[in-house]
Amino acid sequence: MKKQVAVSVLALSLGLFPLQPMQAAWDTPTLSAISNGLDAFWGGILQRLGISYRYPVVYSHQNVEITPCGPSLLAHYCASSNTIHLNMVQIDKLVERVGDSAGFFAIAHEYGHSVQKHLGILDQNLPIVVLELQADCLAGAFFAASEELGILESGDLREATMTAMMTGDYDYEHTNHHGTPEQRGRAFLSGFNDPKSCFE
Ligand SMILES: [Zn+2]
């Protein structure tokens, strides 16, 4: 994904034409650009629903650290502290294998959980798999907005779908089951093709 994501999302919300994007490297400025973009995107949507969005604080950890919600193995959202925790060693590995959108997908997915918290969905005692697939779908909705802004690069959609699938599992019996690779890929694409489908 391209670097001016935050600027572009802000430009869009002001009705301005987005800036011409540049090729992004996967680095700290890119990480903060994407989280600013996610803040602006979800902030705008929640505002229209009369909800003020408390932006999650994003922590990038060097490998495994203990967060308020346990060890940072890959990426997680912690609802009690409204924080997102990224294990940069693991995410860098994913990015190396798949491409930069693997990282963008991971962050966008965790933002999905923060949106669920703001909408009260996390309080509904839903099975984890339902929450996880909805977070994939919400990540897809953000990618759709990025596509509209012209800041997706060719391959981004494929990379993100691949990442969703790679982080799926077949541990149906496990309480932490996140959905099968097929379900996760489908949920992401469903959000990309029709953001409203995330709430159906
Ligand atoms: Zn999740």
What average pLDDT does this structure show over 33-51?
94
pTM of the model: 0.87
- Whether residue 126 contacts residue 179, with contact meaning beta carbons closer than 8 Å, is answered with no
* CA 15–ligand 1 middle distance (angstroms): 32
pLDDT of residue 172: 86
* CA 19–ligand 1 middle distance (angstroms): 31
pLDDT tens-digit series, residues 105-147: 999 999 999 999 999 999 999 999 999 999 999 999 999 999 9
* CA 122–ligand 1 middle distance (angstroms): 12
* CA 108–ligand 1 middle distance (angstroms): 10
What average pLDDT does this structure show over 82-86?
95
Residues surrounding ion ligand 1 at CB below 5 Å: 132, 135
- Range of lowest pLDDT (8-12, 24-28, 162-166, 168-172): 8-12
Sign of CA dihedral 33, 37, 84, 43: positive
pLDDT of residue 144: 96
What average pLDDT does this structure show over 79-88?
94
* CA 76–ligand 1 middle distance (angstroms): 6
Read off the pLDDT band of 174 (50, 70, 90).
confident
* CA 113–ligand 1 middle distance (angstroms): 7
pLDDT of residue 20: 34
* CA 10–ligand 1 middle distance (angstroms): 26
pLDDT tens-digit series, residues 46-69: 999 999 999 999 999 888 989 999
* CA 176–ligand 1 middle distance (angstroms): 10
Q: What is the mean pLDDT of the chain?
A: 87
Domain ranges across the chain: 5-195
The rounded distance, in Å, linking the Cα atoms of 5 and 146 is 7
* CA 111–ligand 1 middle distance (angstroms): 9
What average pLDDT does this structure show over 83-88?
94
* CA 14–ligand 1 middle distance (angstroms): 31
* CA 168–ligand 1 middle distance (angstroms): 11
The rounded distance, in Å, linking the Cα atoms of 59 and 37 is 16
pLDDT of residue 127: 93
Alpha-helical runs (H) found in 73-178? 88-98, 100-118, 128-148, 156-166
pLDDT of residue 25: 59
Cα dihedral value 137, 142, 145, 149, nearest 10: -140
Tell whether the model's pLDDT for residue 1 goes beyond 80. no
**The two structure tokens encoding residue 138:** 């919400």
